[in-house]
Amino acid sequence: MELILKEDIENLGFKDDLVKVKNGYGRNFLIPNGLAMLATESNKKVLAEKIKQSQNKQKKAVEEAQKIVKKLEKLELKIAAKALEGDKLFGSITAAEISKELAENGLEIEKKYIQLTSNIKKIGTYNVNVRLHREVKFDMTFEVVGVADDGAAMEKFKAQDCTAWTGDMSNMVAQQYAVSQDSDVTFPMDIMPELLSKEPLGAATRDNDDDWNDVVQWVWFGMLTAEEMNITSGNYASADLDDTATGRLLNNNLGLGTETNPLPATWMQNVLQHVGNYQEAYDNSFCDGTSNGERGNSLSGCLVDRAGTMNAPYWEDGLQYAPPMR
Protein backbone atom coordinates (compact mmCIF):
# COMPACT_ATOMS: atom_id res chain seq x y z
CA MET A 1 0.00 0.00 0.00
CA GLU A 2 1.10 3.58 -0.64
CA LEU A 3 1.30 6.01 2.27
CA ILE A 4 2.36 9.58 3.02
CA LEU A 5 4.61 9.75 6.08
CA LYS A 6 3.61 12.21 8.78
CA GLU A 7 6.88 11.76 10.69
CA ASP A 8 10.45 10.72 9.94
CA ILE A 9 10.57 6.92 10.20
CA GLU A 10 13.87 5.14 10.67
CA ASN A 11 14.84 2.99 7.66
CA LEU A 12 11.68 4.05 5.80
CA GLY A 13 11.65 7.74 4.92
CA PHE A 14 11.19 11.37 5.89
CA LYS A 15 8.07 13.30 6.78
CA ASP A 16 5.91 13.91 3.65
CA ASP A 17 7.65 11.13 1.71
CA LEU A 18 5.52 8.82 -0.47
CA VAL A 19 6.38 5.25 0.51
CA LYS A 20 5.12 1.76 -0.23
CA VAL A 21 4.75 -0.67 2.67
CA LYS A 22 3.07 -3.96 3.41
CA ASN A 23 -0.63 -3.66 4.18
CA GLY A 24 -0.31 -5.01 7.73
CA TYR A 25 2.52 -2.64 8.66
CA GLY A 26 0.57 0.32 7.33
CA ARG A 27 -2.89 -0.47 8.69
CA ASN A 28 -1.83 -1.99 12.02
CA PHE A 29 1.07 0.28 13.00
CA LEU A 30 1.82 3.37 10.93
CA ILE A 31 -1.71 4.72 10.42
CA PRO A 32 -3.11 3.92 13.94
CA ASN A 33 -0.07 5.57 15.55
CA GLY A 34 -0.44 8.75 13.52
CA LEU A 35 2.82 8.16 11.65
CA ALA A 36 1.33 8.01 8.15
CA MET A 37 -1.86 8.46 6.14
CA LEU A 38 -3.24 6.87 3.01
CA ALA A 39 -1.87 8.32 -0.23
CA THR A 40 -5.26 9.09 -1.74
CA GLU A 41 -5.52 11.46 -4.68
CA SER A 42 -6.86 14.22 -2.45
CA ASN A 43 -4.08 13.70 0.12
CA LYS A 44 -1.49 13.78 -2.69
CA LYS A 45 -2.87 17.11 -3.93
CA VAL A 46 -2.70 18.57 -0.42
CA LEU A 47 0.86 17.25 -0.09
CA ALA A 48 1.90 18.76 -3.44
CA GLU A 49 0.60 22.18 -2.39
CA LYS A 50 2.30 21.88 0.98
CA ILE A 51 5.63 21.03 -0.64
CA LYS A 52 5.26 23.91 -3.08
CA GLN A 53 4.74 26.37 -0.25
CA SER A 54 7.72 25.05 1.68
CA GLN A 55 10.21 25.06 -1.18
CA ASN A 56 12.20 27.96 0.27
CA LYS A 57 12.51 26.16 3.60
CA GLN A 58 13.49 22.99 1.78
CA LYS A 59 16.19 24.84 -0.13
CA LYS A 60 17.70 26.11 3.10
CA ALA A 61 17.48 22.64 4.66
CA VAL A 62 19.30 21.15 1.66
CA GLU A 63 22.05 23.77 1.97
CA GLU A 64 22.51 22.97 5.66
CA ALA A 65 22.61 19.25 4.89
CA GLN A 66 25.25 19.82 2.23
CA LYS A 67 27.40 21.70 4.75
CA ILE A 68 27.30 18.65 7.00
CA VAL A 69 28.29 16.45 4.05
CA LYS A 70 31.40 18.57 3.53
CA LYS A 71 32.36 18.04 7.18
CA LEU A 72 31.73 14.31 6.89
CA GLU A 73 33.95 14.15 3.81
CA LYS A 74 36.86 15.52 5.83
CA LEU A 75 36.24 13.31 8.86
CA GLU A 76 38.37 10.22 9.42
CA LEU A 77 36.22 8.40 11.96
CA LYS A 78 37.72 5.60 14.03
CA ILE A 79 35.70 3.86 16.72
CA ALA A 80 37.48 1.89 19.45
CA ALA A 81 35.58 -1.17 20.65
CA LYS A 82 36.43 -4.06 22.94
CA ALA A 83 37.46 -7.12 20.96
CA LEU A 84 37.79 -10.80 21.72
CA GLU A 85 40.50 -12.98 20.23
CA GLY A 86 40.99 -12.39 16.53
CA ASP A 87 38.82 -9.76 14.91
CA LYS A 88 35.52 -10.40 16.69
CA LEU A 89 34.04 -7.61 18.79
CA PHE A 90 32.60 -7.96 22.27
CA GLY A 91 29.09 -7.00 21.17
CA SER A 92 28.48 -4.90 18.07
CA ILE A 93 28.61 -1.32 16.80
CA THR A 94 25.15 0.22 16.45
CA ALA A 95 23.77 3.35 14.84
CA ALA A 96 23.48 4.86 18.33
CA GLU A 97 27.22 4.42 18.95
CA ILE A 98 28.08 5.91 15.57
CA SER A 99 25.84 8.87 16.40
CA LYS A 100 27.69 9.34 19.71
CA GLU A 101 31.08 9.25 18.00
CA LEU A 102 29.91 11.80 15.44
CA ALA A 103 28.70 14.03 18.27
CA GLU A 104 32.17 13.80 19.83
CA ASN A 105 33.43 15.24 16.54
CA GLY A 106 30.93 18.10 16.58
CA LEU A 107 28.34 16.55 14.23
CA GLU A 108 24.87 16.09 15.69
CA ILE A 109 23.18 13.39 13.62
CA GLU A 110 20.40 11.32 15.17
CA LYS A 111 20.76 7.56 15.05
CA LYS A 112 17.56 7.19 13.02
CA TYR A 113 19.29 8.91 10.09
CA ILE A 114 22.18 6.43 10.11
CA GLN A 115 21.47 3.26 8.10
CA LEU A 116 23.67 0.23 8.63
CA THR A 117 23.99 -2.08 5.64
CA SER A 118 25.03 -5.01 7.87
CA ASN A 119 25.69 -5.95 11.48
CA ILE A 120 29.08 -4.66 12.64
CA LYS A 121 30.59 -7.38 14.81
CA LYS A 122 34.20 -7.42 13.63
CA ILE A 123 37.19 -5.11 13.42
CA GLY A 124 37.47 -3.48 10.01
CA THR A 125 36.33 -0.73 7.67
CA TYR A 126 32.61 -0.18 7.09
CA ASN A 127 30.20 2.05 5.19
CA VAL A 128 26.94 3.50 6.48
CA ASN A 129 24.37 5.61 4.69
CA VAL A 130 23.71 8.92 6.44
CA ARG A 131 20.37 10.46 5.44
CA LEU A 132 20.59 14.18 6.08
CA HIS A 133 17.64 15.16 3.89
CA ARG A 134 15.43 13.39 1.39
CA GLU A 135 17.63 14.92 -1.30
CA VAL A 136 20.96 14.66 0.53
CA LYS A 137 22.55 11.37 1.50
CA PHE A 138 26.15 10.52 2.24
CA ASP A 139 27.93 7.18 2.15
CA MET A 140 30.28 7.46 5.13
CA THR A 141 33.29 5.22 5.66
CA PHE A 142 34.66 4.57 9.15
CA GLU A 143 36.99 2.14 10.85
CA VAL A 144 36.38 -0.04 13.89
CA VAL A 145 39.56 -0.47 15.93
CA GLY A 146 39.69 -3.40 18.36
CA VAL A 147 40.99 -2.98 21.92
CA ALA A 148 41.29 -5.45 24.78
CA ASP A 149 40.17 -3.14 27.60
CA ASP A 150 39.88 0.53 28.63
CA GLY A 151 43.64 0.80 29.04
CA ALA A 152 44.23 -0.46 25.52
CA ALA A 153 41.56 1.91 24.23
CA MET A 154 43.36 4.85 25.82
CA GLU A 155 46.63 3.75 24.21
CA LYS A 156 44.84 3.76 20.84
CA PHE A 157 43.59 7.27 21.57
CA LYS A 158 47.06 8.51 22.51
CA ALA A 159 48.44 7.03 19.29
CA GLN A 160 45.56 8.78 17.42
CA ASP A 161 44.29 5.45 16.13
CA CYS A 162 40.84 6.59 17.28
CA THR A 163 39.50 10.13 17.35
CA ALA A 164 37.29 10.19 20.45
CA TRP A 165 36.96 8.74 23.93
CA THR A 166 33.65 8.54 25.79
CA GLY A 167 32.86 7.93 29.45
CA ASP A 168 31.35 9.49 32.54
CA MET A 169 32.54 13.01 33.23
CA SER A 170 34.78 12.18 36.20
CA ASN A 171 36.51 9.48 34.15
CA MET A 172 36.92 11.88 31.23
CA VAL A 173 38.61 14.48 33.44
CA ALA A 174 40.91 11.89 34.98
CA GLN A 175 41.87 10.48 31.58
CA GLN A 176 42.44 13.94 30.11
CA TYR A 177 44.76 14.81 32.97
CA ALA A 178 46.63 11.50 32.70
CA VAL A 179 47.13 11.86 28.95
CA SER A 180 48.24 15.49 29.31
CA GLN A 181 51.11 14.31 31.54
CA ASP A 182 52.48 12.12 28.74
CA SER A 183 55.26 14.06 27.03
CA ASP A 184 54.75 12.06 23.83
CA VAL A 185 51.21 13.41 23.43
CA THR A 186 51.28 16.77 21.67
CA PHE A 187 47.79 17.04 20.16
CA PRO A 188 45.12 19.23 21.82
CA MET A 189 42.27 17.59 23.75
CA ASP A 190 38.86 18.96 24.64
CA ILE A 191 35.98 17.56 26.64
CA MET A 192 32.93 18.26 24.54
CA PRO A 193 30.01 20.06 26.24
CA GLU A 194 27.36 17.71 24.83
CA LEU A 195 25.91 15.17 27.27
CA LEU A 196 25.31 11.86 25.54
CA SER A 197 23.53 10.28 28.50
CA LYS A 198 22.76 10.92 32.16
CA GLU A 199 23.46 8.13 34.63
CA PRO A 200 24.00 9.25 38.23
CA LEU A 201 26.94 7.37 39.76
CA GLY A 202 27.19 6.07 43.29
CA ALA A 203 29.57 4.19 45.54
CA ALA A 204 29.43 0.41 45.20
CA THR A 205 30.76 -2.29 47.51
CA ARG A 206 31.10 -6.04 47.15
CA ASP A 207 28.24 -8.33 48.06
CA ASN A 208 27.92 -10.02 51.44
CA ASP A 209 29.67 -7.28 53.39
CA ASP A 210 26.93 -5.10 54.80
CA ASP A 211 29.16 -3.68 57.53
CA TRP A 212 31.64 -2.27 55.00
CA ASN A 213 28.80 -0.98 52.81
CA ASP A 214 27.42 0.94 55.81
CA VAL A 215 30.82 2.52 56.47
CA VAL A 216 31.22 3.68 52.85
CA GLN A 217 27.68 5.03 52.77
CA TRP A 218 27.91 6.96 56.02
CA VAL A 219 31.32 8.43 55.22
CA TRP A 220 29.66 10.01 52.19
CA PHE A 221 26.65 11.14 54.23
CA GLY A 222 28.99 12.59 56.85
CA MET A 223 31.02 14.60 54.32
CA LEU A 224 27.83 16.08 52.87
CA THR A 225 26.38 16.82 56.32
CA ALA A 226 29.62 18.50 57.37
CA GLU A 227 29.41 20.92 54.46
CA GLU A 228 25.76 21.62 55.25
CA MET A 229 26.74 22.44 58.86
CA ASN A 230 29.80 24.52 57.84
CA ILE A 231 32.14 22.04 59.48
CA THR A 232 35.44 21.79 57.58
CA SER A 233 38.92 20.34 57.86
CA GLY A 234 39.97 23.68 59.29
CA ASN A 235 37.42 24.07 62.08
CA TYR A 236 36.20 20.59 63.11
CA ALA A 237 38.70 20.36 65.98
CA SER A 238 37.16 23.43 67.66
CA ALA A 239 33.52 22.46 67.01
CA ASP A 240 31.12 22.36 69.99
CA LEU A 241 30.58 18.65 70.66
CA ASP A 242 27.93 19.49 73.27
CA ASP A 243 25.68 20.67 70.45
CA THR A 244 23.39 17.73 69.66
CA ALA A 245 23.72 17.81 65.86
CA THR A 246 27.47 18.46 65.98
CA GLY A 247 28.01 15.70 68.52
CA ARG A 248 26.12 13.21 66.37
CA LEU A 249 28.35 14.04 63.43
CA LEU A 250 31.75 14.26 65.15
CA ASN A 251 31.48 12.08 68.26
CA ASN A 252 29.10 9.21 67.51
CA ASN A 253 29.88 5.69 66.34
CA LEU A 254 26.41 5.25 64.75
CA GLY A 255 26.90 1.49 65.18
CA LEU A 256 29.37 1.40 62.29
CA GLY A 257 31.95 -1.32 61.90
CA THR A 258 31.66 -4.81 63.36
CA GLU A 259 31.11 -6.05 66.89
CA THR A 260 34.76 -6.99 67.17
CA ASN A 261 36.09 -4.04 65.17
CA PRO A 262 33.81 -1.01 65.62
CA LEU A 263 34.68 2.41 64.25
CA PRO A 264 35.79 4.92 66.88
CA ALA A 265 33.32 7.61 67.89
CA THR A 266 35.62 10.15 66.24
CA TRP A 267 35.59 8.41 62.82
CA MET A 268 34.11 11.45 61.08
CA GLN A 269 36.81 13.67 62.54
CA ASN A 270 39.36 11.38 60.88
CA VAL A 271 37.56 11.80 57.55
CA LEU A 272 37.58 15.58 57.85
CA GLN A 273 41.25 15.61 58.86
CA HIS A 274 42.32 13.67 55.77
CA VAL A 275 39.94 14.73 52.96
CA GLY A 276 37.65 17.44 54.34
CA ASN A 277 33.91 17.78 53.77
CA TYR A 278 32.19 17.16 50.42
CA GLN A 279 32.98 20.61 49.04
CA GLU A 280 36.65 20.36 50.00
CA ALA A 281 37.02 16.88 48.49
CA TYR A 282 35.28 18.01 45.28
CA ASP A 283 37.42 21.13 45.09
CA ASN A 284 40.65 19.16 45.51
CA SER A 285 39.59 16.58 42.90
CA PHE A 286 38.04 18.73 40.16
CA CYS A 287 38.76 22.41 40.88
CA ASP A 288 41.70 24.60 41.89
CA GLY A 289 41.81 23.52 45.55
CA THR A 290 41.32 27.00 46.99
CA SER A 291 37.95 26.51 48.73
CA ASN A 292 37.77 26.59 52.53
CA GLY A 293 34.79 24.20 52.48
CA GLU A 294 32.25 26.62 53.96
CA ARG A 295 28.68 26.30 52.76
CA GLY A 296 27.72 28.67 49.94
CA ASN A 297 31.20 29.05 48.45
CA SER A 298 31.56 29.22 44.69
CA LEU A 299 34.19 26.78 43.46
CA SER A 300 36.66 28.10 40.88
CA GLY A 301 38.88 26.64 38.17
CA CYS A 302 36.74 23.49 37.92
CA LEU A 303 37.29 20.93 35.19
CA VAL A 304 33.88 19.53 36.14
CA ASP A 305 31.58 22.21 37.51
CA ARG A 306 29.40 21.30 40.49
CA ALA A 307 26.99 24.23 40.40
CA GLY A 308 23.72 23.55 38.62
CA THR A 309 24.41 19.84 38.17
CA MET A 310 23.42 16.58 39.83
CA ASN A 311 26.67 16.81 41.83
CA ALA A 312 25.44 19.88 43.72
CA PRO A 313 23.97 19.41 47.22
CA TYR A 314 20.21 19.62 47.55
CA TRP A 315 20.33 23.15 49.01
CA GLU A 316 21.93 24.24 45.73
CA ASP A 317 19.26 22.42 43.67
CA GLY A 318 21.37 19.31 43.13
CA LEU A 319 20.70 15.65 43.97
CA GLN A 320 23.19 15.17 46.82
CA TYR A 321 21.33 14.58 50.09
CA ALA A 322 22.21 12.96 53.41
CA PRO A 323 19.78 11.61 56.04
CA PRO A 324 20.16 12.70 59.69
CA MET A 325 23.29 11.38 61.44
CA ARG A 326 21.69 9.04 63.94
- Out of 8-12, 135-139, 179-183, give the one with best mean pLDDT: 135-139
Number of domains within the chain: 3
CATH classification of the domain holding 81: 3.10.430.100
- Domain containing 88 equals 67-180
Task: Read off the pLDDT of residues 132-151 as tens digits, 9 standing for 90 and up.
Answer: 887 899 999 999 888 767 77
Task: Read off the pLDDT of residues 261-290 as tens digits, 9 standing for 90 and up.
Answer: 899 999 999 999 999 999 999 999 889 999
Grade residue 231 by pLDDT with cuts at 50, 70 and 90: very high
Q: Give percent of the chain with pLDDT exceeding 90.
A: 41
- Residues 36, 81: one domain? no
Domain end call among 180, 201, 225: 180
Q: Kindly give the interhelix angle for 210-228 and 267-274, rounded to the nearest 10 degrees.
A: 70
- Residues 11, 76: one domain? no
- Residues 43, 93: one domain? no
For residue 70, count CB atoms less than 10 angstroms from its CB and return exposed for 0-12, middle for 13-18, buried for 19 or more: exposed
Please report whether residue 325 resides in a domain.
no
Please report whether residue 199 resides in a domain.
no
- Residues 45, 133: one domain? no
Q: Is the pTM of this model over 0.75?
A: no
Grade residue 196 by pLDDT with cuts at 50, 70 and 90: low
Please report whether residue 217 resides in a domain.
yes
- Residues 41, 91: one domain? no
- Residues 134, 175: one domain? yes
The pLDDT value recorded for residue 247 is: 94
- Residues 78, 171: one domain? yes
The pLDDT value recorded for residue 2 is: 94
- Residues 215, 146: one domain? no
Mean pLDDT, rounded, of the chain: 87
Amino acid at 211: D
Closest CA to 276 of 325, 322, 222, 232: 232
135 contacts 117 by C-beta, under 8 angstroms = no
CATH classification of the domain holding 7: 3.40.5.10
